[in-house]
Amino acid sequence: MRIIDGIIHALLWISLGLFWLNPPSYTHLKQTMKQIPIVKKLVNNKLVDKKIKNKKPSFEMIITDKPYDFVNVSLKERLTLLSAKIGQPIFIRIFKEEALLEIWIDTGSEYVHLKDYIICAFSGDLGPKLKEGDEQAPEGFYTVKKYQLNPNSKFHLSFNLGYPNRYDKAHKRTGSALMVHGNCVSIGCFAMTDEKIEEIYKLVEKALQKGQKSVHVHAYPFRMSEKNMSFYEGNEWYDFWVNLKEGYDYFESQKIPPTIKIENKRYEIYE
């Protein structure tokens, strides 16, 4: 230990000796001090910035793009941006966990993300509707036709999702009048504010009037990414959600709603 202390002391003395024999020049010290910005200085009891005032930053700021806000952008703005019109075919996706209703519009070669709407209220938990009165909102693949529109709904405006569909019936699920509607109250439905249902209803109604045979509505428990699926792997409805994911993945890759058939009590996805 004494040997190490002796070496350290010796090195310190050598350093001091070299500094004494060859000290830095005043000019060098002055140039060095110029390179050190005085960021704050006390003047009349106030902190002011004398050195860097009006100076350009010595670094380039990198601003990353934020995700596009499909919720707060206006429908008119989105239609203009896409050179689209109300009346073109649309496709709807609903995500319970995110409380989000997505609308996609057909541009000719594929469907393009048009706009998102926050779901004001829905009841129940993640998982499908099983029976009348369980207050669950449905999950699955549904279609909306003209006769399912209700402009005189007591919930402002509404359209029926068509629950139970053939899949639900094959699994002996019961229930009725499961809708997307206004008035922001729900017992098994997906409720929007009156303002938002007016836009959504108009998009559905005009698309059907212009020749779209039915509007497909895909209702999911959550965005069916691999991460989310892994998180819910132990859930009692995991196998059902794996089947739903087939339709989700098809649209994610093709940007065209798949043809869906019910075979052997499961959804089968076709081009």
Catalytic residues: 181, 189
DSSP classification of residue 88 = B
End-to-end CA distance of the chain: 80
Q: What are phi and psi of 80, to 5 degrees?
A: -65, -45
165, 141 contact by CB (below 8 A): yes
Cα–Cα distance for residue pair 171/85, rounded to 1 Å: 39
> How far apart are the C-alpha atoms of 107 and 233, rounded to whole Å?
36
Q: Which of 195, 123, 204, 99 is nearest to 156 (CA)?
A: 195
| Helix, strand and coil percent figures for the chain, each rounded to 5 | 30, 25, 45
| Complete DSSP assignment for 116-157 | EEE--B--S-SS---STTS-PPP-EEEEE-GGGEETT-TTSS
Are 265 and 167 in contact by the 8 Å Cβ rule? The answer is yes
Residue holding tokens 């200085």? 41
